[in-house]
Amino acid sequence: MKIPYPGAIDCDLHPAMPSVAALMPYLDEYWRDQLANRHIDRYPFVLTSYPPGAPLSARPDWRQPSGAPGGDLDMIRRQALDPFGSSLAICNVLHGAVALFNADMAAALCAALNDWVATELLDREPRLRASIVVPVHDPGLAVDEIERKAADRRFVQVLMLAMGEMLLGRRLYWPIYAAAERHELAIGVHAGSTYHHAPTAAGWPAHRVEDYVAQSTAFESQLLSFLAEGVFQKFPALKLVLIESGFSWLPTLLWRTGKTWRGVRPEVPWIDRPPAEIVRERVRLTLQPVDTPRHDPQILARTLAHIGSDRMLLFSTDYPHWQFDGEDVLPEGLSAATVRRLMIDNPLETYPRLRPAAVAGDTVGDAARQEAVR
């Protein structure tokens, strides 16, 4: 189903990462020296999770003859923003720096990347917003980067990968959440792995397609980690967004966690209400990939009923990843009210920093609201 009216907020857009050469002006002299002398600047920092040639990584009509998909701002406008009438889009740049073990190098590249995003994307296209990319495995350096970029309110989120060093709810990471909460930034956990662990409890599967399908189990584990460790109690204003996660797995997690909690509550006594209530209030998931069958809208409807909330899904294209064809970005069978919620209301509720732009003098957003009322 096509987007019915303009004004959507795309919560997962992937401009291509810049080359190291493009990042050089944003690095200090030590890193410029090191990257050049050690030939590190000849490497593309591609994440294993998204091999450039794989069908999932880019839709054929979104590839260009030269340059990476999502690497051209005009193409992003023409292919990702305009066709869907998006009023805003959050850029989640996936960069391999986060998989480096040297956290200092990772931090330097992340900082350069964030500065590049601000200059090359946000300054040039007013509809764009972004996530702050940080070296999660060194929480101190991650906090430094959050503090450095937080004043630019076009950054709305802190970005992490679903499979990293440790489960993300752990207290080691709490300084990151404290900083994010302080600055009204959401925490965005995106599909992908640094592969610092085997992706499954039984080791390393042979195929990429399986690693990708298995991401849902990583999201389950991460969500449960945030919940069990009490992140939602410790940081009462923090919102967690699961990005490119799918959502068909969510009912099982809600049901099982609730059941087990009733029996093991004294282990985690800071969880003071049913886990499903906490999740519905504090956790969001982006729309793509829609992992219920497209041919059967009834299954989607029942899955949403099992999830028990219409506030959790956030519109996304996941451009240029290949999750749908043509302009068929919405699954069939959603009610008009649900469509309105996921296109506009849910993203605004989730990302406090989106709100000023959407409220003041934003004619695109206004048109969307009028259209919806009609």
Residues 199-238 that bind other proteins (CB under 8 A): 199-210, 212-214, 216-218, 220-222, 224-225, 228-231, 233-234
The answer to whether residues 107 and 145 touch, using CB atoms and an 8 Å cutoff, is yes
Q: Indicate the helix (H) or strand (E) that contains 240.
A: strand 240-243
Residue from the set 257, 309, 317, 346 that interacts with other proteins by CB under 8 A: 257
* Shortest CB 243 distance to other proteins, Å: 15
Cis peptide before 289 (omega within 30 of 0): yes
For the chain, what is the radius of gyration of the CA atoms?
20
Nearer to other proteins (CB atom), residue 96 or residue 199: 199
The distance from CA 318 to its chain's CA centroid, rounded to whole angstroms, is 9
* Shortest CB 56 distance to other proteins, Å: 5
**CA–CA distance, 163 with 63 (Å, rounded to integer):** 27
Nearer to other proteins (CB atom), residue 117 or residue 242: 242
* Shortest CB 58 distance to other proteins, Å: 11
Q: Please name the amino acid found at residue 117.
A: V
For the chain, give the number of residues: 374
Nearer to other proteins (CB atom), residue 205 or residue 297: 205
DSSP string, 15-55: PPPPPHHHHGGGS-HHHHHHHHHTTGGGS----TTS-TTSG
**CA–CA distance, 266 with 254 (Å, rounded to integer):** 19
**CA–CA distance, 80 with 61 (Å, rounded to integer):** 12
The answer to whether residues 131 and 155 touch, using CB atoms and an 8 Å cutoff, is yes
Nearer to other proteins (CB atom), residue 244 or residue 362: 244
**CA–CA distance, 190 with 192 (Å, rounded to integer):** 6
Residue from the set 5, 62, 116, 249 that interacts with other proteins by CB under 8 A: 249
Residue from the set 38, 42, 124, 256 that interacts with other proteins by CB under 8 A: 256
Nearer to other proteins (CB atom), residue 123 or residue 210: 210
Chain positions 47 to 66 lying near other proteins, rule: CB under 8 A, are 54-56
Nearer to other proteins (CB atom), residue 266 or residue 361: 266
Residue from the set 299, 348, 364, 372 that interacts with other proteins by CB under 8 A: 299
The answer to whether residues 184 and 353 touch, using CB atoms and an 8 Å cutoff, is yes
Nearer to other proteins (CB atom), residue 4 or residue 205: 205
* Shortest CB 264 distance to other proteins, Å: 4
Chain positions 118 to 177 lying near other proteins, rule: CB under 8 A, are 162-171
Residue from the set 266, 336, 363, 374 that interacts with other proteins by CB under 8 A: 266
- 264 binds other proteins per the rule CB under 8 A: yes
**CA–CA distance, 356 with 81 (Å, rounded to integer):** 20
* Shortest CB 178 distance to other proteins, Å: 13
**CA–CA distance, 33 with 37 (Å, rounded to integer):** 6
* Shortest CB 15 distance to other proteins, Å: 21
The answer to whether residues 137 and 164 touch, using CB atoms and an 8 Å cutoff, is yes
Chain positions 302 to 361 lying near other proteins, rule: CB under 8 A, are 302-303, 305-306, 308, 322
Nearer to other proteins (CB atom), residue 63 or residue 129: 63
